[in-house]
Amino acid sequence: MSLANFIKGSYHEFKDKVEWPKWSELQPSTMVVTVATILLSLFTFGVDELFSKAIRNIINLLSGLFS
């Protein structure tokens, strides 16, 4: 099978045989993904800040011991 035949077959498959969801069906899923992404980013930011402060405190503590 040549590459051109593969591309034509793929195009035909996606165009005629795949049942694409309607926008009204996708909206709730889009909202769930958006909210989950925001929550995950806030959690990641919080953990990053917590570890940054902890490491900064440990470094300050150690540098105070050796100076």
Q: Give the chain's largest Cα–Cα span.
A: 74
pTM, full prediction: 0.63
Quote the tokens at residue 30: 């889009």
Query: What stretches of 1-67 show up as alpha helix (H) in DSSP?
Result: 3-12, 23-65
- pLDDT tops 70 at residue 3: yes
Q: Domain ranges in the chain?
A: 27-67
> Running DSSP on this structure, what letter comes out for residue 60?
H
- Across the range 35-63, mean pLDDT stands at 97
3-class state of residue 1 by DSSP = coil
Quote the tokens at residue 14: 């996606």
- pLDDT tops 90 at residue 61: yes
Summarised one tens digit per residue, pLDDT across range 6-24 is 999 999 999 899 998 999 9
- pLDDT tops 90 at residue 32: yes
Quote the tokens at residue 64: 């105070």
